[in-house]
Amino acid sequence: MWKKGRIICICLLAVLVSLAGSTTLHADGPAESVQTGFFTGVKAVDKDGNDIAALKNVERGTEVYLVYHYEIPAGGYETGKEYTFSIPKEIHMEDGTVFPVNMGDKQVAQGTVGYDTAQNTNIVRLVFSDTDAVQEGVEGDIWMGGTLSEDEIPNEGKQEIDFDLGLADGSDKITVDFAIDKQTADVSLTKQAGTPNLGELTIPWKITLKVESTTPADLPVTGLVIKDTLPEGLDFDETDPDSYSCVSAAGTPVTGGTIEKSTGGLITYTFPDGFSAAMGNAYTLTLKTSFELGIFGGGKDAVKFTNKAEAAYEFIEEPYKKDDDGNSVENKETKKVVTAAVTAGTTINGGILDKKGVLAGAGVREINWSVTVNSNDLGIENARITDTIPAGLTIKGGAGGITIRDKDGTDVTASFPGAVTVTGQNIAVVPGTINEKYTIHYTTMIADEYYDENKTETFKNHVEFTGGPGPDPAISISKDASVKVNNALIAKTGSYSRKDHTITWTITLNQYESALADPIQVEDIIPDGLTLVTKGSDFAPADDIHVTKGTGSGITFRYDKDSRRLTGEITKSISEAVEFQFRTTVDDANIWAVNGYRSKPFHNEAVIKIGGHEYPVSSDPEIISEMFTKAAGSYNSAAGEIEWQLTCNQNEMPFHNAYIEDVIPDGLEYVAGSLSLMAPAGQQVSESYDRASKTLRVGLPAYVDKQYTVTFRTKITDSGFLTANATKKFSNLAVLYGDELPAPISSKAEKEVTGSVLSKKGEVKRDPAGVNYLEWSVTVNSNKTQLNKPVIADPLSTDPKLELDPSSVKLYEADVQPDGSVSRGNEVAVTRENITYDLTDNVFRFHFLKPIDRAYLLVFRTDFGDDARNKEVVNQVYYEGSEADQEHSGTHLKIAGSIAGGSSSIPKGNIAVKKYADDKVTVLKDAVFAVYNDYVTYTMRPTDINGESDLQQIRTGSYSIKEVTAPEGYVLDNTEHSADIGKNSTFTYEAYNTQIKGTLELTVRDDSKYAKPAGGVKVEIYDKDGTLIAEKITDTTGKITTDDLKYGEYYYKIVEAPAGYKIPGGTFPFRIEENGQVIKAEVLIHLSESDQAVPHTGGAGSGKGSEASHAKTGDNTGAAAYILLLAGSALCIVLARRSRRLIR
């Protein structure tokens, strides 16, 4: 039975727990409101535990925790029955929240939060399931989390929140000093131009004002004004009621507004008096502006207008202010005026003038021109078109060659209302007044001189349009059109083929089919390094020279080897294009059979001779050769292998007796049988590997004419860097040999490999109770190297604070894939010997208890509190005390602001230790204690000068505690004691140590030949500071014994000796280090005629019951003889006794 007055029930709701994640308890009977006497107190605190009723300027929306203290009233409660109580509407909680109520580690009840729409409040339904928890007098606390509702708490400063518990002292009503938030309003302004009406010469503009947001949502926005500044060239008639309108988003007109125009083109629209807009309201003002055709002056056929609009509005920013006592005072006169601005633009294309020109083609030396006017059917007075023809062109047919068509394409030349004249190079068309579209067509002839040379000419034609009332034209537009005449008498190109190292040359004559008179001759001198391909060779199964165009020209060819001159002749006049091709081989293998060649080594010029003139043309084709490359491929971390790729004969040329040699570098070893031919399909290559020289030889077929690609693998043998997260670069050189190559070709590839002994990643997760946490996965030794009992150290974040859940630590065998990814294998048993957690610096350490040579996955959970919101956790993990010492692998993880707390909801307590000597008075410093359970070991900081140490905020539960390091000079007490840690409580443990004590046993002898014991010798014993500890006088056996010598350093000295002996000088040190240690020592004193005494060794005994050495210095033969004599005498006595027995 639980006793009255004991706090036994706590509900941890720092975060609201989802219904899906909890066990549901069902009520057996009808709901019943809790009695008035059930709750004995309530308070609301923030996340830091501060009472919000004692705070100033509390923000609405703040997270709060309600703490209800209860006591089961007389008669007790029933299990299985539903008890209800309400939460003030000012506290917002999630509908459907389910939470447990715990008694110790046992759940005894369950609560559910539900929203009651009729009462506009949250109702908590509580069902007890444990008989002990509902007995009279049982007390406890229920914690629930929520937020201060921004909807239910007015923005007026101090407010009372009534929990309505019926407490006699009124403590169930709290007054909270809320901060008064400034009210805000955001108004947007958009503007767009409508389509210009060229018939009416108008442009409509639409300006939309919208209240995007307000705080609070019902804040009225007043004083609305829209201003628009018209650019030069636009006009607005404010007296015309049809020139503007203002409507809502629903199309409802706004009536009563005023509009006015002022200097500078400013138009101002003011909304009606008393008009206000609410959040989401939008209104559009439409303005119709006008323009004149004169805007198309200055030669422009398109005019752009950019228009700026502004809006002004106001609202009450601070509805209340606080007086000196913190009370709210209404403040409605304080208004804030805000402005917004936006620009928009539109371009008016008059379509008044356009001109085009095109070559007639088909060998005709003419250009066809068209001039289009008034495409938009504008009404234009005094229209005039003037077209100036450039030199070199002649108007075909004069004025009679000019035709005019209307917008439908009908020829209206005869009925056209206006004069058409041609004066020299000028065409004038004067139609007068026009109101529709016309197109003027004419043709110009190109002078022959432009076709007599191998050149290009551009003819630029200029036309102007003017019009408008009065003698000075308001409209003035000009346009240009250009036509290019290219008379290519000769053109030449060259194209290189990598497969057969030939260049195909193409020469084109009379490309534009001019009339050319005979004789016509073309010459081409083949450059050095090239050889003309002749008929019948491997490269030319057909004609030496192939005519591809103009076969009717009768062109013939001859080639002079000595001068390397190729000549083509045409012996008749032609008006067609002639094209022919020939090929040359590139002779130098250093150009076509090498690696990475790219250049233009051959400049080839051809000349056409015609009419006593010569016109040259040249070509410089680019030559590219690629024969061999080596590349590094992927690294297989699971196998520790690197893939390499060899590619040869990218030219795809005929290639004989080719092979590749690749010397594998130190640190790598060829993987036998790994050679693979990737391309071409259906072929084979040979493989051989000499282990002594580490040379791989790849043999290609005796003849190839394709590109070959092979791959092979090497295994890393120098794996030292793999244990240290270090990077190593492997460089590999391969060489290609073959008959066609002028020299062997080498290619080098490099591959960087990084040892991945540690990697870490984190993920935010939610447990079944609805609490968010971070799960970390640390991949250990993915390279599968040998590590000797490594320790993984993880300094957990302190800002924000992360806390290890020791019970969550799991270890798995890791399966490492070739791409480096890791999957979980079998779970490995973990004990508390594997885990230590230092709360002082928040470092978690995982200890492998034996050497490892495979990969593992370490998974664990860390909890966090509200301080982690929107913060980035930067976390690193590293090896400690192994071959991979101090190698880090870091990760960054941001915790989203939407998550709720974790660690703040975990019950915690403390441990305090007080350390005494066994006198129970003397406090001892530097004692170290370990606290542990089945999952983790915590090492406490050493006790301080007051003998105190503590362990703060560890999870509640059963632990063991024992001393692991004793204070210096004291015996270690490694007895294990139990420690039960409760929530918000401190377990205090007093521990005692026995002081280390030892004994000195000293024997004093004289230095006579018999080494007789010396009695009556006075010995003084001192500690290391020179304090006299004891005075002793040897007995008749020459001995003294001094007990209870405490841990530390001592020395003794002889201060008095019997008559006839000399007092030896000097001191003899010894040290007590272990409890029960016996230091046995011996000192010789000398007769007065001898030298001073010589001490025996034994100043530091070897432990309890130890015997000191009896080695002596000086001449001891007399003593030895004495001992032998005694032994002989004893033997004789024994033998004599035995003889007497036998005689009887």
Q: Tell me, what's the pLDDT at 770?
A: 63
pLDDT band of residue 250 (cuts 50, 70, 90) is very high
Asked if the model's pLDDT at residue 840 lies above 90, the reply is no
Residue type, 388: T
Quote the pTM value. 0.46
What would the mean pLDDT of 433-460 be, rounded to a whole number? 83
The CATH number of domain 7-177, selected from 1.25.10.10, 2.60.40.1280, 3.40.50.300, 2.40.50.100:
2.60.40.1280
**Three-class HEC string of 49-110:** CCEHHHCCCECCCCEEEEEEEEECCCCCCCCCCEEEEEECCCEECCCCCEEEEEECCEEEEE
Lowest-confidence segment of 8-22, 334-348, 999-1013, 1039-1053 by average pLDDT: 8-22
1034-1080 tens-digit pLDDT: 999 999 999 999 999 999 999 999 988 888 888 999 999 999 999 99
Q: Tell me, what's the pLDDT at 820?
A: 72
Q: What is the DSSP letter of 852?
A: B
Asked if the model's pLDDT at residue 139 lies above 70, the reply is yes
516-550 tens-digit pLDDT: 888 899 999 999 999 999 876 655 555 789 999 99
Q: Are 619 and 494 in contact (CB under 8 A)?
A: yes
Q: How far apart are CA 848 and CA 830, in angstroms?
A: 10
Rounded percentage of the chain residues whose pLDDT exceeds 90 = 41
On the 0-12 / 13-18 / 19+ scale of CB atoms within 10 A, 192 is middle
451-488 tens-digit pLDDT: 666 777 889 999 998 887 766 677 888 889 998 877 77
Q: How far apart are CA 1119 and CA 339, in angstroms?
A: 119
How many whole angstroms from its chain centre is CA 762? Answer: 12
The CATH number of domain 488-623, selected from 2.50.20.10, 2.60.40.740, 3.20.20.70, 1.10.3720.10:
2.60.40.740
β-strands 1048-1056, 1068-1072: how paired? antiparallel
Residue for token pair 């439908």: 408
For domain 351-447+457-482, give the fold.
Immunoglobulin-like (2.60.40)
**Count of other CB atoms within 10 angstroms of residue 727:** 10
With b meaning 16 or more CB within 10 Å and e meaning fewer, what string describes 509-520?
bbbebbebeeeb
Asked if the model's pLDDT at residue 101 lies above 50, the reply is yes
134 phi and psi angles, rounded to 5 deg: -110, 15
Residue for token pair 């210009």: 196
Using alpha carbons only, give the angle 908, 912, 918 rounded to the nearest 5 degrees: 155
Asked if the model's pLDDT at residue 631 lies above 60, the reply is yes
401 phi and psi angles, rounded to 5 deg: -90, 5
In which element (H, E) is residue 586 found?
Answer: strand 578-586
What would the mean pLDDT of 868-888 be, rounded to a whole number? 61
Q: Tell me, what's the pLDDT at 416?
A: 85
What would the mean pLDDT of 1073-1094 be, rounded to a whole number? 78
Class of domain 626-754: mainly beta
What would the mean pLDDT of 1098-1112 be, rounded to a whole number? 38
β-strands 695-699, 258-262: how paired? unpaired
Lowest-confidence segment of 219-233, 291-305, 414-428 by average pLDDT: 291-305
Q: Tell me, what's the pLDDT at 593?
A: 92
Strand partners, 669: 715
3-state secondary structure of 781: coil
**Count of other CB atoms within 10 angstroms of residue 34:** 17
Q: Tell me, what's the pLDDT at 728?
A: 86
Q: Tell me, what's the pLDDT at 773?
A: 84
Mean model confidence pLDDT for the chain: 83
Q: How far apart are CA 139 and CA 71, in angstroms?
A: 4
Q: Tell me, what's the pLDDT at 157?
A: 85
Q: How far apart are CA 437 and CA 427, in angstroms?
A: 19
| Domain spanning 184-348, CATH architecture | Sandwich (2.60)
Q: Tell me, what's the pLDDT at 555?
A: 92
pLDDT band of residue 724 (cuts 50, 70, 90) is low
pLDDT band of residue 105 (cuts 50, 70, 90) is low
The CATH number of domain 908-993, selected from 3.90.226.10, 2.60.40.10, 3.40.50.720, 2.60.40.1180:
2.60.40.10
**Three-class HEC string of 879-940:** EECCCCECCEEEEEEECCCCCCCCHHHCCEEEEEEEEEECCCCCECCCCEEEEECCCCEEEC
The CATH number of domain 997-1113, selected from 2.60.40.10, 3.90.800.10, 3.30.565.10, 2.160.10.10:
2.60.40.10
Could you tell me where the beta strands, DSSP code E, fall in 684-738?
A: 686-690, 695-699, 703-704, 708-716, 727-737
What would the mean pLDDT of 266-270 be, rounded to a whole number? 93
Asked if the model's pLDDT at residue 673 lies above 80, the reply is yes
Task: Return all residues near 547 (Cβ < 8 A) that are at least 6 apart.
Answer: 555, 578, 579, 580
Q: How far apart are CA 968 and CA 983, in angstroms?
A: 35
In which element (H, E) is residue 589 found?
Answer: helix 589-592
785-837 tens-digit pLDDT: 778 888 888 888 888 888 888 889 999 998 887 777 888 999 999 998 999 98
pLDDT band of residue 946 (cuts 50, 70, 90) is very high
In which element (H, E) is residue 1141 found?
Answer: helix 1117-1143
Residue type, 467: G
CA distances from 12 to 87, 236, 524, 808 (A): 17, 70, 97, 20
Q: How far apart are CA 442 and CA 426, in angstroms?
A: 12
- Tell me the two tokens of residue 34: 């809790």
Task: Return all residues near 396 (Cβ < 8 A) that are at least 6 apart.
Answer: 366, 442, 443, 444, 445
For domain 758-903, give the fold.
Immunoglobulin-like (2.60.40)
Q: Tell me, what's the pLDDT at 542?
A: 55
What would the mean pLDDT of 174-202 be, rounded to a whole number? 88
Rounded percentage of the chain residues whose pLDDT exceeds 70 = 85
Asked if the model's pLDDT at residue 721 lies above 80, the reply is no
What would the mean pLDDT of 966-993 be, rounded to a whole number? 92
Q: Tell me, what's the pLDDT at 765?
A: 84
Q: Tell me, what's the pLDDT at 746?
A: 94
Asked if the model's pLDDT at residue 368 lies above 70, the reply is yes
Could you tell me where the beta strands, DSSP code E, fall in 264-408?
A: 266-270, 276-277, 282-290, 302-316, 320-322, 328-330, 335-349, 353-361, 364-373, 380-388, 393-395, 403-406
